[in-house]
A and B are shown apart, each in its own frame.
Chain A
Amino acid sequence: MADSLNIQELEQVVVRFSGDSGDGMQLAGNIFSTVSATVGNSISTFPDYPADIRAPQGSLTGVSGFQVHIGAGKVYTPGDQCDVLVAMNAAAFKTQLRYAKPNATIIIDTDSFTQKDLDKAEFKTADYIAEMGVDPDRVIACPLTTMVKDALADSGMDVKSVLKCRNMFALGLVCWLFSRDLDVAFNFLREKFAKKPAIAEANIKVIQAGYDYGHNTHSSAMNVYRIESKTKVPGRYMDITGNKATAYGFIAAAEKAGLQLYLGSYPITPATDVLHELSKHKSLGVKTVQCEDEISGAASAVGASFAGALAVTSTSGPGICLKSEAMNLAVIMELPLVVLDVQRGGPATGLPTKSEQTDLLQVLFGRNGESPMPVMAALSPTDCFDAAYEASKMALEHMTPVVLLTDAFIANGSGAFKLPKLEEYPAINPPYVPEELRGQWTPYMRDAETGSRYWAVPGREGFEHILGGLEKDNKTGAISTNPENHDLMTRLRAEKVARIPVPNLEVEGDADDADLLIVGFGSTYGHLHAAMDELRAAGKKVALAQFKYLNPLPANTAEVLMKYKKVVVAEQNMGQLAAYLRMKVDHFVPAQFNQVKGQPFVVSELVNAFSQLLNQ
């Protein structure tokens, strides 16, 4: 009865699970988001890993977090600050509190706040709750480890295995707090541990224990929340990270095009999961080569493309530096190639596990010679699928390397992914050289409409040819240093890319009469959208135009950018998109919002900054 008295309806809630890197916070978070998504809530997740390889247990640098945002309506970001913080130890409590709202509920395991733990976390007093300035009424302080041990006392499991279930107790408690149906969690675990039913049942027992503990002990003191779904899109869903969605997009595109998928890659954070994911799917015929270096990753992909594969190379910013020469080889040989750049903090090694949008100008311009290359940027974890599919289609149909930008934020973050139906995706038709050209074909003959040269894959008799990094004669395909020919070829390559059709830039919000147009690209879509929503809810006239296609730019770019009195370009770099748009659009002088902190934007900070602009 206490439950029903205290149930509060919420629009949205943010939960952050935090603990040692080995505490299984990501699994707890994943199950919670799945359980929520099953009832039709919108979800967005984001893991925050430490950069340390293996920080000492219980230390401040070893804390990792996993944030889950669930909403009745659509959620666009993993949320700025959390409503519930789970802190599995003293270090997590200390470092993660800053991600919690002032009135957040905090769940802690008091068994992990011994003097030794407090010392490791550099607490000065024994009253750590007061030391952090937290209202004790907001804290669910429970001897979590003890209760897990009790729950599994008869299981016959060793201590280490028992302790691995601590995350499930926290999960059970959170599920109680948000009136979640445990059956979904149970099914999830039974499937995940299908081969180890004993582990599954132990985890299930602990979740139930956590749930019961909440129900029995705190029902009278704490509110229980319910988040009803309002914008249900019926269908079948899975939780997917951006990197996995990207890998799936390549697989889907290769299947649609009827081509082998080849990935040449070298391990690099935060792109490596794409290599991992694609390496699993040999039953789909995917070939992955873990190369000796970044250069070989790109170069071998060029070779694979020549031999007739959908060729991909995946990396992050430092890898792009090394791949640029091979990317340029694909430019001049006019071979299809997808270059995935999962951006991270730079320069040099920079912030390997953190997120930035600082490679834009590098991928647009960072190569020798006139080197036109299409560039796209995915908008969200789930959009990575469509973006990877589109980048592959673009590369194959226009015989060009294409750069796909994602970043650590959307690569590691996840969202509810409505299972795509491949038959609903557009066909992919590479311009294979027509049979009737046998005997008269030369490598740089072009399709009149697209300006793309034709593709002759080795094995076809009568189309033997030599490509290369040296400039070629437009007509014969032989090496040429003729000045007019080089000028012509340079223009033809540029024209081919310029002709690639991309959708118009969409304006969301107050498209007709906005006082401020927010402009961004790629992964900041969610945060910028959330900021726009807040401003509009406060009665402001605001619109958003988010670029997904950076080269070529949408045809209506200038029209959109010049339509509004005030425009702000917000990006996670020092103004690369703003500089690029100013170069492309005459008289365009935007305001700028730039942050390079390695962390996602904070919606409240965006709202403040944009409000100031509106008031100026």
Chain B
Amino acid sequence: MAYTAQDYKKGQPRWCPGCGDHFFLASLHKALAEIGVAPKDIAVISGIGCSSRLPHYMATYGMNTIHGRAAAIATGAKVTNPDLDVWQVSGDGDGLAIGGNHFIHANRRNIDLNMILLNNRIYGLTKGQYSPTSPRGFVSKSSPYGTVEDPFRPAELCFGARGHFFARAVATDAPGTIEVLKAAHAHKGASVTEILQNCVIFNNGTHDSVYDKEGRKKNAIYVRHGEKLVFGENNEFGLVQQGFGLKVVEIGKDGYTLDDILVHDAHCEDNTLQLKLALMGDGDGFPIALGVIRDVAAPTYDEAVTAQINEVKAAKKYHNFAELLETNDIWEVRE
């Protein structure tokens, strides 16, 4: 049965006009229609925050739970029913501050969750405090003189927790978002998709350099497995490896030809270069990488749980409660 975006839609979103959440939600509806899983087999599970309102606008099963616990709650749902298509939606505060522990352990376990990190680098629902992804020096209501701490970089945390999938898209870039959501869904195991999005009220312009098409042409690079890492309005720039790092070169200049340009390998087990791609663009002269940065197959937790149960079922002789009792030392008291 074919679905349309309409089949996944419900209600009228209450986010501020212009909020990145609107864009992402529309892309999610479209991506789900393209993926084609029935709404009855989908659970969308969020924590607390502006973006965590998202399940209320889904015609699927779902929960808008408590702050930070979405990944843990999603884990229980997925382990119970591995056939359920579980999407876990969190903001940067929900996912990486109060929920940081669950975020890393879901990645480590490699449970088949589609984890969406809606990153606007601010606490919006509580009206404007710095978040764990706000840059050092960030001025907010809770940091009037600027923060004195470094932010998390989500990819680094994902990779540090042995994550096998990391992708990034800009909320306003619908085709880019839909493409990574489909890839995240196709990936078996934990996937982290970072969505760069604006908070028009409390952190307006935070992702300005890539928020519109023109900006992305100049300041972003779309990475695709097996394709050359080139970017620029006419793909005139490319990435090459130099020493322990990457370098931006202009093709045709300084002796660099297209042949010298790195080919993206999202399936490479070793995440060294993938991490370098993921960390680019922090005002360092590199473009921000968009697309599927890492996508490596690995055994998933939920499948392993099921497989182990089947193995033990085959090996053990007791399969119900009455038989379990008989495995004990039993004595009989007679009249």
Contacts and interface: CB of A to CB of B under 8 A. Distances in A.
Contacts of B333: 37-38, 40, 229, 232-237
Question: In the complex, which range does the number of interface residues on chain A fall in?
Answer: 35 or more
Interface residues of B, number: 60
A299 B84 contact: no
Given A287-B309, A292-B105, A422-B321, A260 B64 contact: no
Contact of A296 (B55, B75, B331): B75
A285 B318 CA distance: 11
A265 to B, nearest CB: 11
Nearest to B316: A283
Contacts of A129: none
A169 B329 CA distance: 21
Nearest to B104: A292
A372 to B, nearest CB: 18
Interface in B308-332: 308-309, 312-313, 315-316, 318-322, 324-325, 328-332
A292 B101 CA distance: 7
A293 B101 contact: yes
A227 interface: no
Given A283-B312, A283-B313, A289-B79, A236 B331 contact: yes
Contacts of B69: 295-296, 299, 325-326, 329
Contacts of A251: 321, 324
B317 to A, nearest CB: 8
B83 interface: yes
A459 B61 CA distance: 9
Interface in B71-124: 72-81, 83-84, 101-102, 105
Contacts of A281: 324
A284 B325 CA distance: 12
Contact of B332 (A235, A262, A469): A235
Given A40-B333, A191-B329, A469 B76 contact: no
A287 B334 contact: no
Nearest to B53: A479
Contact of A458 (B41, B64, B334): B41
B64 A289 contact: no
A284 B324 contact: yes
A347 interface: no
Given A464-B59, A465-B61, A468-B64, A303 B330 contact: no
Contacts of A237: 330-333
B79 A255 contact: no
B335 interface: yes
B206 interface: no
A287 B332 contact: no
A478 B56 contact: yes
Chain B CB count within 10 A is highest, among A251, A292, A307, A329, for A307
A307 B331 contact: no
Given A282-B312, A465-B61, A303 B41 contact: no
B335 A326 contact: no
B77 A299 contact: no
Contacts of A479: 56
A470 interface: yes
Given A235-B332, A283-B319, A326-B69, A260 B59 contact: no
Given A191-B329, A239-B329, A464-B59, A282 B313 contact: yes
B297 interface: no
A262 B79 contact: yes
Contacts of A436: none
B81 A466 contact: no
A309 B82 CA distance: 12
Please classify the interface of chain A as helix (H, G, I), strand (E, B), loop, or mixed, using the class held by over half of its residues: mixed
B65 interface: yes
Interface string A464-504: 11111110000000110000000000000000000000000
Chain B CB count within 10 A is highest, among A188, A191, A304, A326, for A304
A291 interface: yes
A34 interface: yes
Contacts of B10: 466
A283 B81 CA distance: 17
B66 A306 contact: no
B56 A464 contact: no
Given A235-B332, A458-B61, A307 B321 contact: no
B38 interface: yes
B40 A303 contact: no
Interface in A249-277: 251-252, 255, 260, 262, 264
A395 B315 CA distance: 33
A71 B330 CA distance: 19
Contacts of A184: 331
A408 interface: no
A325 B83 CA distance: 28
User: Lowest 7 A-B CB distances belong to which pairs?
Assistant: A303-B76, A300-B76, A468-B64, A283-B316, A299-B72, A304-B76, A303-B73
Interface of A: 34, 37-38, 40, 184, 188, 191-192, 229, 232-240, 248, 251-252, 255, 260, 262, 264, 281-285, 287, 289, 291-293, 295-296, 299-309, 311, 325-326, 328-329, 333, 419-422, 458-470, 478-479
23 contacts: A232-B334, A237-B330, A238-B329, A240-B328, A248-B324, A255-B320, A262-B79, A284-B320, A291-B72, A299-B76, A301-B76, A302-B73, A302-B76, A303-B78, A304-B80, A309-B80, A328-B66, A329-B65, A421-B322, A458-B40, A459-B84, A466-B56, A466-B63
